[in-house]
């Protein structure tokens, strides 16, 4: 896990300087880097394409932007940080007094040293983001204002990576790729998703796992619009975001609240004894709200550490490389690994000797427990599996009802299956 954490952090470092938005070359550059780790299938959706109730917008690209004082010194410089420009700013080239420029400048008075992240995706505007202390130091006078950007017909870009499973039923793992230099939101989620995909490929998983790297909101909506025939295959799902901060793990349940992924995450987090929170679904946050919208109603939850807008550094320059850690990303990856391990092995069984308790001793099942320190627990797990193997209860049901660890229940089911007492 230490090695994985370090490698994920290195990926975040590579992605951090890139200027991302909901469209454009920054998204493509980001996906090209991820493609070095896991092979991606890229999709380009033209401007103007109708996607559910939305339309794919024009593509935005930016080359340079700055505010310069009378001496030519750049007092706000896109080259220093992609956060310095209002996302989707239309081009501008002008000279104006500070009084005229001020309405286009965005700051955080409560955190005067931080630069905010602001966007204007669907309303043509231009602007700059800067530290309040920088703004306070600007003298009156004329300033050169330059945003070298284009907003023109192009494409929305998203990518998929599929880990083929034993069955065609799918688990979707989704993360957004539209934020600029914000390390926790969203680069840590991208890194965890990437390394999770690599791990799953080594497992021969039961389910097929589909990883979706897409711009927030419009990207998930576009994926859903273009995959309506596949949606019925999606049995479970998880949206990953804010995966690297020092806070405790937070799981936000699907709209259903009782989807299998909800039960799995609740069980795994409780059984692991990690500090954690499980919260109810709300129709605000990340792309779980798209996958869970009533027409689709997929069993998709959201896994973060500190959740959406739950930390002061959120959507500011303080969400930087110092705010995330290899250890936090490694822990988030471990939660995903544990959850999908349960999900992949959660079967229903039928007791083949349901009339009275079968004699376990003559089948050698008790003898096999002789050297185990948890022999009593393993014996109870066998009895619980036999009792609930009616074709209706899953192994997760057994673990929840008995209070036994899921791993112990799986081992008991395997032993009973080997002895011919249960069948899947």
Question: Distance (Å, rounded) from C-alpha 192 to C-alpha 400?
Answer: 28
Largest distance between two CA atoms of the chain:
94
Confidence at residue 366, expressed as pLDDT on a 0 to 100 scale:
73
What is the mean predicted confidence (pLDDT) over 155-165?
98
315 is in an annotated binding site: yes
The pLDDT of residue 369 is above 80: no
Mean pLDDT of 132-139: 98
User: Domains of the chain, with CATH numbers?
Assistant: 2-56+155-345 (3.40.630.10), 59-152 (3.50.30.90), 348-423 (1.10.10.10)
pLDDT at 372 over 90: no
> In this predicted model, what pLDDT tens digit does every residue of 395-405 receive, in sequence order?
999 999 999 99
Give 16-58 pLDDT, tens digit per residue: 999 999 999 999 999 999 999 999 999 999 999 999 999 999 9
Query: Is the model's pLDDT at 170 over the cut of 80?
Result: yes
State the average pLDDT over residues 144-165: 98
Give residue 310's pLDDT: 94
Q: Is the pLDDT of residue 373 over 70?
A: no
Q: What is the pLDDT of residue 314?
A: 98
Q: How many CA atoms lie within 13 A of 64 on its CB side?
A: 7
Confidence of residue 394 (pLDDT cuts 50, 70, 90): very high
Q: What is the pLDDT of residue 364?
A: 85
Q: Give yes or no for residue 246 having a pLDDT over 90.
A: yes
Distance of CA 46 to the CA centre of its chain: 25
The closest of 421, 416, 349 to 389, measured between CA atoms, is: 349
Contact yes or no for 145/84 (Cβ under 8 A): no
Rounded Cα gap, residues 45 and 27, in angstroms: 13
The mean pLDDT value of the chain amounts to 96
pLDDT in tens, 290-312: 999 999 999 999 999 999 999 99
Query: What confidence category does residue 365 fall into, taking pLDDT thresholds of 50, 70 and 90?
Result: confident
Return the exposure string of 260-289: e unless at least 16 CB atoms fall within 10 Å of the residue's CB, then b. bbbbbbbbbbebeeeebeeeebeeebbbbb
Whether 149 contacts 125, CB under 8 Å: no
Per-residue pLDDT band for 347 (boundaries 50, 70, 90) equals very high
Residue 324 CA to residue 12 CA, distance in Å, equals 9
**367, pLDDT greater than 70:** no
Of the pLDDT bands very low, low, confident and very high (cuts 50, 70, 90), residue 111 is very high
Q: Is the model's pLDDT at 370 over the cut of 60?
A: no
Joined together, the tokens standing for residue 278 give 């499980």
Rounded percentage of the chain residues whose pLDDT exceeds 90: 94
User: What average pLDDT does range 203-221 have in this prediction?
Assistant: 97
Q: Residue 78: which pLDDT band, with cuts at 50, 70 and 90?
A: very high
Which distant-in-sequence residues (6+ apart) come within 8 Å of 204 by Cβ? 165, 166
Orientation angle between helical segments 2-15 and 189-201, nearest 10 degrees: 130
Residue 84 labeled ligand binder: no
pLDDT digits (tens, 9 = 90+) for 272-289: 999 999 999 999 999 999
pLDDT class of 368 with cuts at 50, 70, 90: low
Mean pLDDT across the stretch 180-207?
97
* CA–CA gap between residue 348 and residue 47 (Å, rounded): 47
């Amino acid at each position: 896990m230490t090695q994985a954490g370090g490698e994920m952090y290195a990926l975040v470092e590579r992605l951090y300087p890139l200027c991302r938005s909901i469209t454009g070359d920054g998204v493509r550059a980001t996906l090209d880097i991820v493609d070095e780790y896991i092979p991606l299938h890229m999709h380009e959706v033209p401007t103007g394409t109708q996607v559910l109730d939305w339309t794919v917008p024009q593509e935005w690209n930016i080359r340079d932007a700055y505010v310069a004082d009378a001496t030519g010194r750049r007092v706000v410089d896109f080259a220093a940080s992609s956060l310095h420009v209002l996302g989707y700013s239309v081009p501008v080239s002008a000279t104006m007094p500070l009084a005229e420029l001020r309405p286009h400048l965005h700051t955080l008075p409560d955190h005067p040293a931080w630069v905010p992240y602001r966007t204007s995706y669907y309303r043509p505007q231009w602007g700059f983001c800067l530290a309040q202390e920088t703004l306070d130091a600007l003298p009156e006078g004329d300033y050169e204002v330059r945003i070298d950007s284009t907003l023109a017909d192009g494409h929305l870009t998203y990518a998929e990576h599929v880990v083929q499973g034993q069955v065609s039923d799918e688990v979707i793992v989704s993360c957004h790729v539209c934020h600029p230099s914000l390390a926790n939101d969203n680069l840590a989620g991208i890194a965890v998703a990437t390394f999770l995909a690599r791990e799953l490929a080594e497992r021969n998983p039961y389910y097929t796992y589909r990883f979706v790297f897409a711009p927030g909101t419009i990207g998930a909506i576009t994926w859903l619009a273009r995959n309506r025939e596949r949606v019925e295959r999606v049995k479970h799902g998880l949206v990953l975001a804010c995966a690297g901060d020092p806070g405790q793990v937070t799981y936000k349940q699907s709209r259903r609240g009782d989807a299998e992924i909800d039960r799995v995450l609740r069980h795994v987090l409780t059984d692991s004894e990690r500090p954690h929170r499980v919260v109810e679904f709300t129709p605000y946050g990340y792309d779980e709200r798209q996958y869970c919208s009533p027409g689709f109603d997929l069993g998709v939850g959201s896994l973060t550490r500190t959740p959406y807008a739950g930390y002061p550094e959120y959507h500011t320059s303080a969400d930087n490389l110092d705010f995330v850690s290899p250890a936090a990303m490694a822990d988030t990856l471990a939660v995903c690994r544990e959850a999908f391990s349960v999900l992949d092995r959660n079967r229903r069984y039928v007791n083949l000797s349901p009339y009275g308790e079968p004699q376990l001793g003559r089948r050698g099942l008790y003898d096999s427990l002789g050297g185990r320190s948890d022999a009593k627990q393993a014996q109870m797990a066998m009895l619980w599996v036999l009792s609930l193997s009616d074709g209706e209860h899953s192994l997760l049901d057994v673990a929840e009802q008995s209070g036994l660890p899921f791993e112990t229940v799986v081992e008991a089911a395997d032993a009973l299956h080997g002895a011919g007492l249960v069948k899947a």
